Structure 1
Amino acid sequence: AKKHHRAVKIRPDRDDDMIATGKRHDFHVDYEVGFDDEGNILGVDFMFAARCGFSADLSGPVTDRALFHCDNTYFWPAVHAQSAPLYTNTVSNTAFRGFGGPQGMVGAERVIEEVAFAVGKDPLEIRKKNFYGTSDRNVTPYHQTVEDNIIHRIVAELEASCDYARRRRTIEAFNANSRFIKRGLALTPVKFGISFTATHYNQAGALVHVYTDGSVHLNHGGTEMGQGLYVKVAQVVAEEFQIDLNQVKITATTTGKVPNTSATAASSGSDLNGMAAQNAARQIKERLTNFAAEKYQVPRDQVLFLPNRVRIGNQEIAFADLIRQAYMARIQLSAAGFYKTPRIHWDRDKGEGRPFYYFAYGAACSELSVDTLTGEYVVERTDILHETGRSLNRAIDLGQVEGGFIQGMGWLTTEELWWDEKGRLRTHAPSTYKIPLASDRPKIFNVTLADWPEASEPTVHRSKA
């Protein structure tokens, strides 16, 4: 492109693509842990060493987020955690779903498993012993107070609904009588911090136009990549105006309409862009309310937006009719919205602050069968209970949880990246890099969104990422 002064498009084949592109950072986690005879953890010392590749890329923030999640849902009374981003002769690793968080949590869960084995107790019992508290034992290693802790109830509900205790006894009896096929059962929690740890990224803009036929044009700074962001933000706007979703037209993200957009990442796309779009819609709605109150000589509180219509005093008119009247009265029907996440701050030099606006919680219980002769395994059953606050779209959120589990299952079981001594990737095709198939999903797969929580902070409709 530099030589010919023109744009160049490259279409590598699958092998070259897998060799050249950045991967999720693999970590070597070293730790020392102190605990008492009951399994109460007294202190942890972590070292997270990450393969970063030949350039820095986003390895610094990724390894930082691994440290942010080295506690997962557990209170460490004393903790020392550090990362080592390693320069290696391999492809430059980069951002990937979870952004270091899952690697940090795996380290925490390994500690729990080791302690449980050492004291001879069920790992779930050790997990519950070491959960964050609500009024005490609630300060993270980075000095943020956990104010929205609901992990105790999440785990209790899942433990009951998946019949954990009975199934554990059944598995123990099965293993005692099965020579080669062994089964295992684990229930693990998750606490994931929501926000960019680089505070300045936690902002978003949106542009909303209302046309004289009552239709709405929406543009915002988020990128749709199959996660349902466009639909969620359109729902927010439709809800503000009380119009049908098909009346909201979403156009592709462009800095020509909304400038200085943040990355659609950190699980913040709906939070940031939904709030910005809501802000724009409310500006227009405020103008319409003032206009209707003045035109029809009624108090502002007697102007109510109802499904596809507006009640003004004792009469109702179609939403499109109100828009046409406002246009004729020269009321501005366009607005630029903006949102910045409040309360967050982070001092990296001191290693303290409030990097996350809130936390999202969940738990999963999985049962496996393993052939001890061949290593072949089958996921017999998985039960997941996750909370998304007051979900903006339960169907989308369920799909995200299901997909996230399968992706994580592949990451931790079959998707092995193998480099030779010269730093060349040897697992660079579907024949050697095994992603999960539809047939690899759990035989029984129960995914539920908790219907009782709502965000403790004033997020968009009290939803969570």
Structure 2
Amino acid sequence: MNETFKLERTSAPLAAEESGESMRHVHRPVPHDSGAKHVQGIAQYIDDIREPDGTLHIAIGQSPKARGRIVSLDLAIVRSQPGVVAVLTASDIPGKNDVSPSFGDDPLFAHAEVSFLGQALFAVVATTRDAARRAVRHAVVEIAEEAPSITVEDALPRDETVLPDYAFGRGDAEAAITQATYRLAGKFRVGGQEHFYLEGQVALAVPGEDGDIHVYSSTQHPTEVQHVVARVLDLPDAYVVCETRRMGGGFGGKESQATQWAVTAALAARVTGRACKLRLDRDDDFVLTGKRHDFRCDWQVGFDDEGRIEGYAVDLLARCGYSADLSGGVVDRAMFHADNAYWMPAARIASKRLKTNTVSNTAFRGFGGPQGMLAIEHVMDQIAWAMGRDPLDVRYANFYAPGRNFTPFGMEVEETDTLVDLVRRLEETSAYRARREEIAVFNASSPILKRGIALTPVKFGISFTLTHLNQAGALVHVYQDGSVHLNHGGTEMGQGLHIKVAQVVAEEFGITMERVRITATSTAKVPNTSPTAASSGSDLNGMAARIAAGAIKRRMAAYAASLYGVAEDEIEFRDDRVFVGNESLSFTELAKKCVLGRVPLSEAGHYQTPKITWNRETATGRPFFYFAYGAACSEVIVDTLTGENRLLRADILHDVGRSLNPAIDIGQIEGGFVQGMGWLTTEELVFASDGRLLTHAPSTYKIPVASDVPADFRVALYPNSNREETVYRSKAVGEPPLMLANSVFCALCDAVHSVDPAKPVPLDAPATPEAILRACEALRGRSMG
């Protein structure tokens, strides 16, 4: 196909009062602070840190069975191997054998029974990584094997869960469905996803004086690493420092699951008295770390002649793995987003968190929201096909609107106008209606190749659903030469958090970006931080930094006012200078004067998100500060004889409020969309019946590559200002764009549907070529076995 690659990065014009023209740094496309280093390959990650002399290396000894009782573990030969310095087991742990984030159900090393194939049994500490990896193979392990639960269907009869069932809703959904004019029901499966970060799990632990330990970890949650290291080593938290300068990607996979490897390195350092490093091999990383939760969604819906939902009931059956990990919050968020953008007069949203003998699933970009959201988009398509209507018209009929704007958990959707206007704009700019007609003509004359199109919305709640996590701290110092030291609790994983927070600080002081020094996230500087997750990094840390900088600025202004005998409101900070009445001095000059005047130029800022109230027991309150909105229109082509397919064009309009950095935000939208497309089209996790992960490497697990990006890719920012008082009225951007890729899955279903428009499409996610071919053959009345 001779196509011209067309990538449009546009931002719709803002009204004059919203354009931020008076801003010098915020609302500007400032380059990523590490961008040049990324391109040159000189950005320093954990594995690039110069190793202290005598650093030891660690390899993990894994369980050969998925479920059973440990009969014996003979490590004598392991200990005798060349280069081996120590072999660690549960008996070497001075504190608690627990690396779980909350529930005490995740041992560092299994000690009585094993719960998934590959589970850590012991660790070898050796002089080289190769020696450690060779030594682990000599363990003699005897396990009294039991039949494992691998799938949702395995776990359901056993009624094994990692957490109790949970449900909420409104009205009598079952009665509303029964009384509705039309009814549909089905089962829809949503697959999991491997994080496939470029930098794998890695940690370096360096012992210090008096039991202190310094851990360099590729983690999204340094405070949790600090806390769990202290728990396992039986130390006060203050004895442990966790530091993270940057990660080579995280996507949620390093929120809770970086901890085990940091703790293992710390334990090895404690036992040996030497620096110890653990870097997982990519295959081991696949086996030993959790994925996005896969779901089976059992749904029922009742609707009227217009396709409007009158009752909706869904059971979200999540495969959680062997321990709770973050499944509480992940599955709750799937429930919170089971409505997506649609009003449901009566609804029952229920869930089961099923225990299986697989590695514990964990956070992944969207944190359960994508699974709940995709299920209702699937239902919208089912309604449209049953009614013979355009799926977009069915979506319009069900959108939240004034008077019908409360979610199934009782929170008011305040920006119904934003949602509808955004979708209508995209419908127009993407020429959806004209293209729909063109596609119908094409499909009528093309028996093999079929095209499809879909336009789907996104409404995503922003905040941690665990209320106490909605807080952040930042530490700002102004030195006497006018340079500024910035530290905050957020972590940088390529998403541009550090540069956004630096822009906020530079804007507050009216100084150039070059004056602001971004430093590594450290628990020694900002304590008790929340993970960088839930799309809240800029909201929380940006505001904390602004509070800290603002406090210093006010002290500087007060001192300048006293020196020059003017009112404080006559002082202005801008262009690297401070204007005092009719005079001005450089920012550096004022900093020096403040030091001489004994004015404190250091501040720890703290921010807590307002308005958040959620009582899980009564299912009442407001779990989200606000909603971010977006929509995508995707067009695909499918070969119905092979299942091969291609995304031809994607149009995206996304709401980020008043963007702190449009270039960074558009990059996040593009990346999130493509990652979501991979989840829904090519990335398939396959476990054998014995619990072995068969898709454990790039050779068997297919993430999207450059050639999968559509040749025609149009991304625009919706002109908007956050109605809530966020940092410079911006909105979060990390997670919501991933769910824009729902449009790709729905477009593929639309293309397959044209094989026989009289039948629903039997297609689950991911829509791999094999799955698409099976669906096409089913519509033709043929079985592939």
> TM range, normalised to the smaller chain?
over 0.9
Consecutive unaligned residues in structure 2, runs of 5 or more: 1-87, 93-124, 126-266, 270-275, 733-785
State yes or no: 1:141 paired with 2:439: no
* Overall identity of the aligned pairs, in %: 61
Name whichever of 16-25 and 93-102 sits farther off.
16-25
Distance in 1 separating the partners of 2:459 and 2:603: 36
Q: State the match for 1:445 in structure 2.
A: 713
Q: State the match for 1:29 in structure 2.
A: 297
User: Map of 1:112-261 to 2, 5 A cutoff?
Assistant: 112-133=380-401, 135-149=402-416, 150-261=418-529
How far 1:9 sits from its partner (Å)? 3.5
State yes or no: 1:82 paired with 2:361: no
Q: State the match for 2:554 in structure 1.
A: 286
Distance in 2 separating the partners of 1:242 and 1:12: 44
* TM-score, scaled to structure 2: 0.58
How far 1:13 sits from its partner (Å)? 2.5
Q: State the match for 1:406 in structure 2.
A: 674
How far 1:40 sits from its partner (Å)? 0.9
Q: Partner letter of residue 202 of structure 1? A: N
Q: Partner letter of residue 413 of structure 2? A: V
State yes or no: 1:6 paired with 2:273: no
Q: Partner letter of residue 472 of structure 2? A: A
Q: What SS does the aligned partner of 1:359 have?
A: strand
How far 1:92 sits from its partner (Å)? 1.0
Distance in 2 separating the partners of 1:329 and 1:10: 49
How far 1:148 sits from its partner (Å)? 2.5
Distance in 1 separating the partners of 2:306 and 2:546: 50
Q: What SS does the aligned partner of 2:268 have?
A: coil
What whole-Å deviation, never above 9, does each CA across 1:111-139 have from its counterpart, x for those lacking one? 11111111111000011111111x31010
Distance in 1 separating the partners of 2:638 and 2:697: 26
How far 1:44 sits from its partner (Å)? 0.1
Distance in 2 separating the partners of 1:38 and 1:339: 46
Q: State the match for 1:318 in structure 2.
A: 586
Q: Partner letter of residue 466 of structure 2? A: A
What whole-Å deviation, never above 9, does each CA across 1:211-231 have from its counterpart, x for those lacking one? 111110011000111110000
Distance in 1 separating the partners of 2:308 and 2:714: 31
Q: Partner letter of residue 727 of structure 2? A: V
Q: State the match for 2:599 in structure 1.
A: 331
Distance in 2 separating the partners of 1:15 and 1:215: 45
User: Map of 1:368-379 to 2, 5 A cutoff?
Assistant: 368-379=636-647
What whole-Å deviation, never above 9, does each CA across 1:154-211 have from its counterpart, x for those lacking one? 1011111110010000000000111100000000000000000000000011110001
Q: State the match for 2:189 in structure 1.
A: none
C-alpha RMSD of matched pairs (Å) = 1.0
Distance in 2 separating the partners of 1:59 and 1:334: 39
State yes or no: 1:39 paired with 2:307: yes
Q: State the match for 1:50 in structure 2.
A: 318
Name whichever of 371-380 and 299-308 sits farther off.
299-308
Q: What SS does the aligned partner of 2:590 have?
A: helix
Q: Is the 8 A contact 1:208 1:277 kept in 2?
A: yes
State yes or no: 1:264 paired with 2:526: no
What whole-Å deviation, never above 9, does each CA across 1:254-283 have from its counterpart, x for those lacking one? 111110010000000000000000000010
Q: What SS does the aligned partner of 1:433 have?
A: coil
Distance in 2 separating the partners of 1:282 and 1:224: 23
Q: What SS does the aligned partner of 2:527 have?
A: coil
Q: What SS does the aligned partner of 1:10 have?
A: strand
Name whichever of 376-385 and 322-331 sits farther off.
322-331
Name whichever of 298-307 and 454-463 sits farther off.
298-307
2:725 equivalent among 436, 455, 458: 458
Q: What SS does the aligned partner of 2:522 have?
A: coil
Q: Is the 8 A contact 1:218 1:248 kept in 2?
A: yes
How far 1:36 sits from its partner (Å)? 0.4
How far 1:12 sits from its partner (Å)? 3.4
State yes or no: 1:365 paired with 2:633: yes
Q: What SS does the aligned partner of 1:464 have?
A: coil
Distance in 2 separating the partners of 1:128 and 1:65: 24
Q: Is the 8 A contact 1:220 1:277 kept in 2?
A: yes
Q: State the match for 1:70 in structure 2.
A: 338
2:371 equivalent among 77, 82, 103: 103
Q: Partner letter of residue 224 of structure 1? A: E
2:649 equivalent among 356, 377, 381: 381
Distance in 2 separating the partners of 1:319 and 1:358: 37
What whole-Å deviation, never above 9, does each CA across 1:233-274 have from its counterpart, x for those lacking one? 000000000111111001111111110010000000000000
Distance in 2 separating the partners of 1:136 and 1:358: 18
Q: What SS does the aligned partner of 1:364 have?
A: strand
Q: Is the 8 A contact 1:89 1:422 kept in 2?
A: no
Q: Partner letter of residue 382 of structure 1? A: A
Q: Partner letter of residue 6 of structure 1? A: A
Distance in 1 separating the partners of 2:573 and 2:311: 56
Q: Is the 8 A contact 1:25 1:100 kept in 2?
A: yes
State yes or no: 1:391 paired with 2:659: yes
How far 1:335 sits from its partner (Å)? 0.7
How far 1:28 sits from its partner (Å)? 0.6
Distance in 2 separating the partners of 1:260 and 1:438: 39
User: Map of 1:334-345 to 2, 5 A cutoff?
Assistant: 334-345=602-613
* TM-score, scaled to structure 1: 0.98
Structure with greater Cα Rg = 2
Distance in 1 separating the partners of 2:633 and 2:723: 26
Distance in 1 separating the partners of 2:724 and 2:705: 39
